[in-house]
Amino acid sequence: MTKEYPTLLQKSLPIIEAKIEKLHDKREEIINAAVASCDHPLEAIRELPYNANPLFPEKPWLVCTKCGYAEQGWYCGYKRLKHAEYKNPPKITHKQFCAYALVRKHQPIDD
Q: What is the mean pLDDT of residues 13-26?
A: 92
Strand order in the sheet with 69-72: 45-48, 61-64, 69-72, 103-105
Strand pairing report for 103-105 and 69-72: parallel
Higher pLDDT: 9 or 34? It is 34
pTM over 0.75: no
pLDDT tens, residue by residue, 69-103:
888 887 667 777 877 766 888 899 889 988 888 87
Q: What is the mean pLDDT of residues 1-22?
A: 80
Rounded Cα gap, residues 62 and 78, in angstroms: 9
Contact between 38 and 66 (Cβ < 8 Å): yes
Q: What is the mean pLDDT of residues 15-23?
A: 94
Residue 105, pLDDT > 80, answer no
